[in-house]
Structure 1
Amino acid sequence: MNNFTFYSPTYFVFGKDTEKEAGHYVKRFGGSKVLIHYGGGSVVRSGLLDRVKNSLQQESVPFIELGGVQPNPRSGLVYQGIELCRKEGVDFILAVGGGSAIDSAKAIAAGARYEGDFWDFYEGKPVTDALKVGTVLTIAAAGSEGSGDSVITKEEGMLKRGAGGEALRPVFSILNPELTQTLPAYQTAAGATDIMAHVFERYFTNTKEVEITDRLCEAVLLTMIKEVPRVIADPNNYEARANIMWAGMVAHNNLVGVGRDQDWSSHGIEHELSALYDVAHGAGLAVIFPAWMTYVMKHDVNRFAQLAVRVWGCQMNFMNPEETALEGIERLKQFLSSIGMPINFRELGAKEEDIPLMVEKLGLGETGTMGNFVKLTGKDVEQIYRLAL
């Protein structure tokens, strides 16, 4: 196990009706003027936005609003939010929604305290200062409610990039599983796939002797395998929703990733799909991850076989562990398909002729690489896209 530091100070408020406490927690964590940042649609129709606003009014906390966040959140709205925060003297951002609203809120929070272009952070500049962010989560997926990470799409060139830093970790997050019960099955499944992908990015490591985090990763995956079909069958299953919602946070606040090298190439490869086609991030990951696994499996066959046995219940073939590893990948594809996820380019709506463009936009050039488990060149990425056809 590698040396590590782990600091996860987010205060979690979990359970039914907890969104009604948003004003209390904004005030508790020092917010004196709030930007409520959200998408629209269901947040407004369901009355959630009104409940959040009422909670702020009850605590006499003034607020302004900025809606319009899209899936795969855009830079244009971030610039609007930064300008609005500066103009109105906002010192706290409350994101109401899923990962897109939270990621956009984090970008605004960083940009409002920065004299340059906020996009600098999405090109590698560390975020060391930001406005405080709180969240009211409506979809279990990105894990942004418990992480210091944010992903934004820049409209100029449709570049999808990530930024991170402890300054972006929410000071509090309200998690009410009831708020996820109205999600369509496809969104639920895409969110679940994203959760599983966050675990896979950490599970496939070259670090030895990380049994505790291996087991934690496997526990999250087993939970998803059990609970996702239950909520697809019965969207109002509160207990299953609750397990999925907490799994989403655990999968990405880095509890399951400490002490080990992590990969993250599949997320980068997928970002080009969702940037180009505006597909759900989880749906893109459902296509990319099995292809990536197939391409890199021989690098550490025993790790893939371990996953197949411990998570998918495969029988270990000690004479031919590669057979076990491949069976595990096939079980993953079958599971994703069973919950309504695409597993190839055709089902996603992606096109073979766009592969060279997506590889180019990754910016690896002739010598650059991505990932850690296996360092991938542009040619490797092209082969992974083709395996996903």
Structure 2
Amino acid sequence: MNNFIFENSSKVYFGEGCVKEYLSNILSAYGDTVMLCYGGGSIKKNGIYDEVITVLKKENKAVVEFSGIPSNPTYSKVLEGVKLAKESNADLILAVGGGSVMDCCKAISLGAKYDGDIWSDFWARPGVIDFEPLPLGIIVTVSGTGSECNGGAVITNEELKIKTGKDYPQHNAKFVMLDSTYTYSVPEFQMVSGAFDTLSHIMEIYFSEPNESNVSDDISEALMKNVITNLRAAIKNPEDYTARSNLMWDATMAENRIIKLGKKTDFECHQMEHQLGAYTNCNHGAGLAVLHPVYYRHICKAGEKKFAQFAVNVWGISKDGKTDEELAKAGVEALADFIKEIGMPTTFKELGIDENINLKEIADSCGIVPGAYKKMTHEEILKIFEECK
């Protein structure tokens, strides 16, 4: 194992009924005004809004609502939220939703206590947070990103056409509530997309050095198998509590920093998808589903032993009579077959991306990460994009 420092300050309340059971007591630690943040309003249709509002009113909290957070949160929306948080003197931000709502609210919590330009000071480059952001609590209603238990926030600057994330420990939510029954009303495509995002996060960490035996890789293999098994079960029965609760915890485990310990991590595929999303606003998990097999065909030779291990330990492919190269390729194709099986798109066309989009411009805008098995160039990224059409 490589050296590491581990930190995670978020307190997690997991299980059916956790909001009703614990939220009242949690709120007593904060002031009178709660800024309730959510997305397009689905929580008002599925009963979650009423459940949360009932608790807030019971505790005599003044509620300031901030809605309409988009699926790819924008910097302009962040600034809108910062303005409201400051004007209302909010004591707590309560984010109710999926990764987009969580990420937007992390940025708002920072901006609410900062007078400078948070994009230039904390997203355009790594910054130093030497102050306490506005406290944040999270109630998860869409599982997948794992953003609930880390300080990461991915924001799109529409003017610059840059979608990027930064992870600061000070961004971590004070408390997180995970009730998988809150995810039952999520449409199947969104549920599958979120679960694939979870699988993608784990693969991005797994396919990186060190290659020697290490705890993080062993946990990652178990998590990947768990996602695959439970996603299949959830597709068959969307209200399978065991499957949905496992997928919810898989998402958290993928991004609560535990499996990153001692790992370089890759995340080049995420870099590519982020810029694709910045230009096209495509669904994040679906974009990753299109990109991953193509990207892995480009790099599996460079990480041959790990890809062979992936084939055997995750997909159960027999070693008999196969070279590492053959196993590595078989593992990538097993992933590609699984993507088709779960109904995710496999081409840009299926993703709804216009064939006239300037792929070179997008490729040239992608960041090049240091931890990948094979260092990408903008020319090779363009080739990957062309092969995805």
TM-score (norm 2): 0.94
Asked if 1:229 is matched to 2:232, the reply is: yes
1:323 aligns to what?
Answer: 326
Gaps of 5+ in 2: none
CA contact (8 A) 2:95 2:136 kept: yes
**4+ residue runs of structure 1 moved beyond 6 angstroms?**
none
Which letter does structure 2 place at the counterpart of 1:218? E
Matches within 5 A, 1:303-342: 303-316=306-319, 320-342=323-345
The farther-off stretch of 246-255 and 18-27 is 18-27
CA distance in 2, matches of 1:150, 1:92: 18
The farther-off stretch of 342-351 and 255-264 is 342-351
Asked if 1:356 is matched to 2:355, the reply is: no
CA distance in 2, matches of 1:49, 1:69: 15
CA distance in 1, matches of 2:78, 2:112: 10
Matches within 5 A, 1:164-203: 164-203=167-206
CA distance in 1, matches of 2:320, 2:355: 36
Asked if 1:123 is matched to 2:124, the reply is: yes
Matches within 5 A, 1:54-73: 54-73=54-73
CA distance in 2, matches of 1:318, 1:85: 63
Paired residue secondary structure (2:300) = helix
Matches within 5 A, 1:1-389: 1-20=1-20, 21-28=22-29, 30-120=30-120, 121-126=122-127, 128=129, 129=131, 130-316=133-319, 320-351=323-354, 353=356, 354-362=358-366, 369-373=368-372, 374-389=374-389
Give the number of aligned pairs: 383
CA contact (8 A) 2:92 2:134 kept: yes
- Cα deviation digits, residues 191-215 of structure 1 (max 9, x gap): 0110001101110112243421111
CA distance in 1, matches of 2:240, 2:217: 29
Once the two structures are aligned, what percentage of the paired residues are identical? 34
CA distance in 2, matches of 1:36, 1:65: 5
CA contact (8 A) 1:26 1:134 kept: no
Is the alpha carbon distance of 1:241 and 1:386 closer, same or farther for their aligned partners in structure 2, counting shifts above 3 Å? same
CA distance in 1, matches of 2:267, 2:89: 37
CA distance in 2, matches of 1:69, 1:75: 11
The farther-off stretch of 177-186 and 12-21 is 12-21
CA distance in 2, matches of 1:114, 1:278: 29
Is the alpha carbon distance of 1:80 and 1:183 closer, same or farther for their aligned partners in structure 2, counting shifts above 3 Å? same
Is the alpha carbon distance of 1:279 and 1:295 closer, same or farther for their aligned partners in structure 2, counting shifts above 3 Å? same
Is the alpha carbon distance of 1:319 and 1:220 closer, same or farther for their aligned partners in structure 2, counting shifts above 3 Å? closer
- Cα deviation digits, residues 50-89 of structure 1 (max 9, x gap): 2112212222232211000110112222111111111111
CA contact (8 A) 2:148 2:176 kept: yes
Is the alpha carbon distance of 1:298 and 1:317 closer, same or farther for their aligned partners in structure 2, counting shifts above 3 Å? farther
- Cα deviation digits, residues 217-265 of structure 1 (max 9, x gap): 0111101111111111111111110000011000111111101111111
The farther-off stretch of 370-379 and 71-80 is 370-379
CA distance in 2, matches of 1:91, 1:124: 28
The farther-off stretch of 327-336 and 39-48 is 39-48
CA distance in 2, matches of 1:95, 1:135: 5
- Cα deviation digits, residues 103-122 of structure 1 (max 9, x gap): 01001011111111121222
CA contact (8 A) 2:41 2:68 kept: no
Gaps of 5+ in 1: none
CA contact (8 A) 1:24 1:55 kept: no
CA distance in 1, matches of 2:333, 2:61: 52
- Compute the displacement of 1:91 (Å): 2.6
What RMSD in Å do the two structures reach over aligned CA positions? Answer: 1.6
CA distance in 2, matches of 1:17, 1:31: 24
CA contact (8 A) 2:349 2:355 kept: no
Paired residue secondary structure (2:28) = helix
CA contact (8 A) 1:317 1:323 kept: no
TM-score (norm 1): 0.94
Is the alpha carbon distance of 1:338 and 1:371 closer, same or farther for their aligned partners in structure 2, counting shifts above 3 Å? farther
CA contact (8 A) 1:292 1:384 kept: yes
CA distance in 1, matches of 2:322, 2:239: 45
Paired residue secondary structure (1:145) = helix
CA distance in 1, matches of 2:323, 2:232: 31
CA contact (8 A) 1:23 1:61 kept: no
CA distance in 2, matches of 1:113, 1:380: 42
Which letter does structure 2 place at the counterpart of 1:131? L
